[in-house]
Amino acid sequence: MLKKMMTLLIGMSSVVIAQSKQGPTVPAALLVHASRPVSDFTQYLAEMSVPAGVEIRRIDNAWFSQLESNIDRKATVALQEVIQAFNKSHREYQAQLMDGVLVVRPIQRRATFLDQSSTLPRVDVTGVRTALDRVFAQLKPALAGAGGRTGSYLGGAADDFGDQTVISLDGIDRKVINVLNQIVRQAPRTWLVETSDDDTSARVVRFGMLLPNGKGSIQQLN
């Protein structure tokens, strides 16, 4: 009997180890919020500092005023579980793991700019906003000299969201979206791209970075 119990315990232990080796993990609270509207889910990604990126249509980008309190940040689940739960709950958006980043995009009418080849060389820049401006200067050349000072803050001072962080960018043989992912892998947060509701194409109308506590920066594209 004792031998049978020991065998059972060893078997259970191996299952736990196997589950822990299924890939990256994230706070389990994300699994609870995976079925919420995309704008809500985006805020929770930012709140939990998960390296993530979200392309969202303007019509779906309705922010709520306050996050739920007492979020459990200690319990974790496999990131793949969150991705599966999100995709099961949303018909118009799809989540996937790309470059080690959780990326959410519309299934139809995606921003073609994100899938274009990046024109950036290998370069180190100081500041997350500066890095973001360098990426989007391909779409709006005036941003090339912005120095990370354009756009509006969503609460907090510049150093709250990494304006002194050195970011390495490499757009050689990569798409724009891959370079955005490079930024949030080095400075965990959520990049955000908002697109137009035009019937003909999905134009980028705003972009930015989101951080916990509703902080971040948003840049309007005219």
Position 2 scores a pLDDT of 35
Q: Into how many domains does the chain fold?
A: 1
Position 179 scores a pLDDT of 98
pTM of the model: 0.82
Position 106 scores a pLDDT of 95
Position 146 scores a pLDDT of 55
Position 197 scores a pLDDT of 80
Using an 8 Å Cβ cutoff, are 180 and 35 in contact?
A: no
Position 218 scores a pLDDT of 85
Residue 172 DSSP label:
T
Using an 8 Å Cβ cutoff, are 77 and 136 in contact?
A: no
Residues of the chain with pLDDT under 70: 1-22, 63-70, 146-162, 199, 222
Rounded-to-integer distance, Cα 196 and Cα 57, Å: 6
Name the residue range of residue 85's domain. 2-220
Position 7 scores a pLDDT of 38
Using CA atoms, how far residue 53 sits from 8, 18, 134, 207, 211, in Å, is 42, 28, 17, 11, 12
Rounded-to-integer distance, Cα 25 and Cα 27, Å: 7
Position 215 scores a pLDDT of 80
Q: What is the pLDDT of residues 129-145, one digit of tens each?
A: 889 999 999 999 988 87
